[in-house]
Amino acid sequence: MTSEFDEDTAVPEDGAITLTGRWDGSGGVVNGGYQMAVCAKALARVMPHPDPLVISGFFLRSGSPGPATVRTEVLRAGGSLSFGAATLAQDGEDTVRATAAFSRPGKQNGLLFHGTAMPALPPPDDCVIVYPEPGDESPIDQRIDVRAPELPGWLRGQPSGTPAAEFWLRFADGSDADIFALPLLVDAAPMVVRELDGHGMTVELTVHLRARPAPGWLACRSLTRHVAGGYHEEDFEIWDSAGTLVAQSRQLCLFWR
């Protein structure tokens, strides 16, 4: 069975795709991470290396469900690294400009140093289900299964004042995330500035793809350190079921409350 993610990110050779509404946030706006995943998959068609290593996307305009095109450009085909750019457009206007480096699949060797550990969470079955909720209005919340030791404060009507969260994550259809799903997943959960009663809109998102994820639940950590001058950053880490850090991301967002 093809997963919802694979269905919605399949890019044909001519780059003409349809962005589905299945990954929309509550405002009917297509999720930025979903569009980044589409760009990464389009680039994979033309890059000499198989795996995205780092991808940065700038969100020029909001995307909406419907027809779109992806144009790709190989910037450099090198021996161990290759570089490319992908531009997503709708109705003749560019909506996302992504740039990426691709490489061979990551190796789990060499010196390992971890200044932060994998989030220490109870097993998913001992956690509460944060999403999907019955009656939830946001399509993306129906596509991801999020489990945490307790409901976040803002969902209980009591924002904690601490913009941070740790939780389990997987696709709600039970499919396992591959490396191309990681740019979507780092952007799939609500922003942790909700704990400051805040909201945000992403200007730029950079994702480091540190390894291909093993099957199973993904342990996530989301954190905002600085809200100032109308902007905030959000950092996101994803660790796979084998305990490997597979994605590390940062986004810069417009902030409001």
99 binds a second copy (CB under 8 A): yes
Within 168-197, the residues that bind a second copy by CB under 8 A are 196
Q: Which of 211, 218, 219, 220 binds a second copy (CB under 8 A)?
A: 211
Structure tokens at 113: 């140093």
CB 236 within 8 A of CB 164: no
Give the Cβ contact number of residue 168 at 10 Å: 23
Q: Which region, judged by CB under 8 A, interacts with a second copy, from 1-9, 21-29, 40-48, 50-58?
A: 50-58
Number of residues counted as binding a second copy (CB under 8 A): 56
Among 31, 56, 138, 222, interactor with a second copy by CB under 8 A: 56
Measured from the CB of residue 125, what is the shortest distance to a second copy in angstroms? 28
* Part of the chain binding a second copy (CB under 8 A), chosen from 7-15, 19-27, 62-70, 108-116: 108-116
Query: CA 6, CA 65: separation in Å to the nearest integer?
Result: 16
Site for a second copy contains 203 (CB under 8 A) = yes
Residue span binding a second copy (CB under 8 A) among the ranges 5-13, 104-112, 132-140, 152-160: 104-112
143 vs 210, beta carbon nearer a second copy: 210
Where does residue 67 fall: left (phi above 0), alpha (psi -120 to 50 degrees), or beta otherwise? beta
| Least CB distance to a second copy at residue 43 (A) | 12
**Sign for the pseudo-dihedral over CA of 184, 180, 93, 249:** positive
Q: Count of CB atoms within 10 A of residue 122's CB? A: 11
Q: Which residue has the tokens 């979507």?
A: 184
61-95 burial, b at 16+ Cβ within 10 Å, e below that, comes to eebebeebbbebeeeeeeeebbbbbbbbbbeeeeb
The encoded tokens of residue 214 equal 């093993």
Alpha-carbon distance 18 to 73, whole Å?
20
Chain residues 151-170 in contact with a second copy, contact rule CB under 8 A = 163-164
H-run or E-run covering 139: helix 139-143
x/- track of binding to a second copy for residues 114-133 (CB under 8 A): xxx-----------------
Residue type, 178: D
- Selected range binding a second copy among 5-13, 33-41, 144-152, 245-253, rule: CB under 8 A: 245-253
Where does this chain bind a second copy (CB under 8 A)?
53-54, 56, 58, 60-61, 75-76, 78, 81, 83, 85, 94, 97, 99-101, 106-116, 163-164, 196, 198, 203-204, 206, 208, 210-211, 223-233, 244-245, 248, 250, 252, 255, 257
